[in-house]
Structure 1
Amino acid sequence: MSVRLILAGLAVVGLTACAAPAPASTSSAPYQDDPAASVKSYGAGSKECASASAVVRGASQFTTKADAGTATQDDFDTAFPGSVSTDLPAEALPAFADLKATSQAVVGLSKGEAGQQLSEFSLALSRFMNVAFKICT
């Protein structure tokens, strides 16, 4: 089930990325080409996978609002409750922090105002989904 959710989320990210302008390399967090490279696999039944899947689920729901330019602070708080990252492995935390920061950046912005931030958010979500997929395999 978790792997299906991640794959569905990747499809959403792909659609969002196609609709958004190409991301610029102004992200505050420098990344290696593959943030999942240093992440180890824990398996679909692991608590780490459950945590990564919860992040993907929340971020995917947030994507819909962000893409429409209707994301609020309440939407952000629902997508990223304090406990959501508790069981993420340490090597996944940089990608999670980037996802969370880029999500916060689109809160309160209209669709027209959020162009660059949506691109960075989509890129961060895609990177985290790669991390989550690796955790869950």
Structure 2
Amino acid sequence: MNTKLVNPAGLYDGTPVGMSQAKVDLESGLVLVSGQVDWDRDSRVRHATLEGQAEGAIEHLVMVLNEAGSSLEGVLQLRVYVRGELAEGMSQLVPVLARHFGAVRPALTGIGVASLASRDTLIEIEALAKLTGRP
């Protein structure tokens, strides 16, 4: 399989745990993006609110997609994992998702979970995208 690993320098390094921020299948043009969270390079959460963390995770998603040769417009599917009952965060989450993905309208699954990668992490967003021809 002809693949490319994507690990933007501005994001935390997943090498110690054996992961990449994304992997591109160059034959199919698909970009599989690992769950993006609102962490700094030292794996610390940057924002305290669900809305702030969603914005931060999407900021990281954009960074990964751009380095992979894609963009938000290339996103085919999103999975959004939210700590706790999903319905309780919808009023904060929907405006953020609509602002970034309203015109794209990817397939979307929202999942409420008991925990995420750190105690302070409230949201994780993973994506399946296609290459859009960006370098």
Same fold (TM over 0.5): no
Q: Relative to total residues, which structure has the larger strand share, 1 or 2?
A: 2
Higher relative contact order (CA 8 A, sep 6+): 1
